[in-house]
Structure formats: structure tokens, C-alpha cells
Amino acid sequence: MPELPELEVVRDVLQRRLVGRTIHDVQLIPPGGPIVARDLANIGFEAGLSGASVASISRRGKFLVVAFQSGSQPLLLAVNPKLTGRLQLAGSSEKRLARTHLVLGLDDGRQLRYVDQKQMGQLYLTRDLASVPGYAGMGPEPLEVSLEDFRLRLRPFRGEIKGILTRGEFVAGIGNAYADEILWAARLHPYRKRTQLAPADVDRLYEAMRLTLAEAVVQVRNAMQEQIHLKPRDFLAVHMKAGQPCPRCGTPISLVGANQRITNFCRSCQPGGLIKGM
């Protein structure tokens, strides 16, 4: 799943490559295209975007928002790639990846494509982001929230700390992978209950969240370059590293869960917590 670091780098690349460009053709490719594309503006993807020029690219939580100037009114394409969606920049003659659902042809001969293996992500065409499901209720950005606000916002949650970190209404943009990384950096067991955390644990979690995400943006930028459909994660410390030595203490990394819900952590550096499923 693309999370804050990947989407932040994608935003940078698209800002450089897309702003000022005009869309000259739009292809919504069946059968997946109509499933992932939601037209909340009632204008039609083809009619709304053909001839529109890209005004800006922004990121909020796990959404990327492309703002178009189309006629007198701005039009927005909000992309929520969820677990399986990716954007790709490609030359028009470059072979399409399987499961490409939307292709926006640009006036410089490139294409912005949306690829999604399982059609879990969504593309919303809208004039008002408040109408996009899941957008308005998002919590603050993890790199912008203050320590004081972080402490206050955490208080009403009573569950396991990993689950809380991945809830967009707490802070926006952290998913399964970076929650594991942040908790490892904070030396907190992922299944510790929020109610079991001391004030010093919460403060350490806040610092770990900021450092981990900020460093990941740099790592992802170096590894991704302009290949925005890639998901470089080799540099992660624990996520998807089960059995490998913990970079801090050498203990083999533990694994709990399966598929998209894998949790990795170090039993020695992150003690405590009841371990589910073991």
C-alpha cells in the first residue's frame, strides 16, 4: 500500500512533470476503469478532463489530488490507491502494465496511468473534496501535528497502538508497513494497549513517527527516481523482514498475521504486549 512517504515522492515527481501540461486524451479502460473511477462531478471523465490543464498536485493522508483548470471552474481528481493501486508515468508507446484502468495522454507525449491489480483503489472526479468518501474525516498530517495535539488526540483511543496509528482519523497517511517501522523505532510492542503507554512512551512514539517518515521520504526519493509505480521498501528495518536480524540488536524479526495484515517487530527491542495468534 502506498503510504505517506511513497505518495509524498509521487507528488513531487508529478508536480514537476505534470503542472502546466494539458490532457489531450482520456481513456477509461473496461472492465476495471468504470469500477475504480467515480464521477462525483457528473461531468464524465472523458468530457471533464479532455483539454484540461494541470494546475497543481497535492497530497493529504493517502490521497493524491490533481487539480485541473477546465473552463472557468477547477476540477479535481482525487486518487486513493488503497492496497493495490499505483500511478505510473510512461511514454505513449511504452507497453501498458496489466490492469491499467485509466490513461491520461499529456501534450508532451507522456501518459499518466492508473494501475490497480485488484481494483481496490478509487479515482474520484469532483469539484468538492468534502464529497470524497474518507476525505473530510482525516486527522492531521503526522509531520505537521504538534506533540501536544498528538497526546490529546491519542487519549480517546483504547485499543492496540499499531491499530491506532493506522487509523486515518487519528493521523493520516500511516499504513501497515510504516506503523511497524515507527513502533520499532519507538521500541514499542505493536500490540501494547494505548492505556498501557506511559507519557514518556507517547512522546517517544511521536518523535519516532516524525523521524521514521521524514527519513523514509528521503530513502524512497533516492530509490524511486521517476519510476513512481515502484514501491521501494528494501531499506525498511522490520516490515517484511521476518527472520532477518534486527538492525539494532540482531534478534530475528518476528512475524504475526498474514497477507496484507502482516505485523513484524523485534521481540527484544519491543518487549511486552500479548501476542495475538501465537
Positive or negative torsion for Cα 69, 119, 169, 232: negative
CA distance linking residue 4 with residue 216, whole number of Å: 9
Catalytic residue among 95, 156, 158, 261: 261
Shortest reach from residue 247's CB to Zn ion, in Å: 8
Candidates 65-73, 169-177, 231-239, 258-266; binding stretch for Zn ion (CB under 5 A): 258-266
Catalytic residue among 17, 62, 113, 192: 62
Q: CA separation (Å) from 277 to 162, 179, 258, 263?
A: 15, 19, 11, 11
Closest C-alpha among 98, 53, 102 to residue 81:
102
Residue spans of alpha helices (H) in 19-112: 32-36, 45-49
Shortest reach from residue 251's CB to Zn ion, in Å: 5
Shortest reach from residue 249's CB to Zn ion, in Å: 3
* Buried/exposed code over 27-58 (b: 16+ C-beta within 10 A; e: otherwise): bbbeebbeebbbbbbebebeebbbebebbbbe
Residues touching Zn ion, count (CB under 5 A): 7
CA distance linking residue 267 with residue 243, whole number of Å: 12
Tell me whether residue 192 is one of the annotated catalytic residues: no
Candidates 49-57, 159-167, 196-204, 238-246; binding stretch for Zn ion (CB under 5 A): 238-246
Tell me whether residue 148 is one of the annotated catalytic residues: no
Length of the chain: 278
The binder of Zn ion chosen from 11, 205, 246, 254 (CB under 5 A): 246
CA distance linking residue 26 with residue 48, whole number of Å: 9
The binder of Zn ion chosen from 46, 249, 271, 272 (CB under 5 A): 249
Shortest reach from residue 181's CB to Zn ion, in Å: 13
Tell me whether residue 3 is one of the annotated catalytic residues: yes
Closest C-alpha among 221, 222, 259, 227 to residue 240:
259
Shortest reach from residue 269's CB to Zn ion, in Å: 3
Tell me whether residue 5 is one of the annotated catalytic residues: no
Which residues, 6+ apart, have CB-to-CB distance to 202 below 8 Å?
150, 151, 154
Shortest reach from residue 189's CB to Zn ion, in Å: 12
The binder of Zn ion chosen from 21, 248, 252, 255 (CB under 5 A): 248
Q: Is 268 in the site for Zn ion (CB under 5 A)?
A: yes
Q: Is 87 in the site for Zn ion (CB under 5 A)?
A: no
Candidates 60-68, 89-97, 206-214, 251-259; binding stretch for Zn ion (CB under 5 A): 251-259
Residues 14-53: x where in contact with Zn ion by CB under 5 A, - otherwise, as a string: ----------------------------------------
Positive or negative torsion for Cα 140, 35, 9, 230: positive
Q: Which residues are catalytic?
A: 2-3, 62, 261
Residues in contact with Zn ion by CB under 5 A are 246, 248-249, 251, 266, 268-269
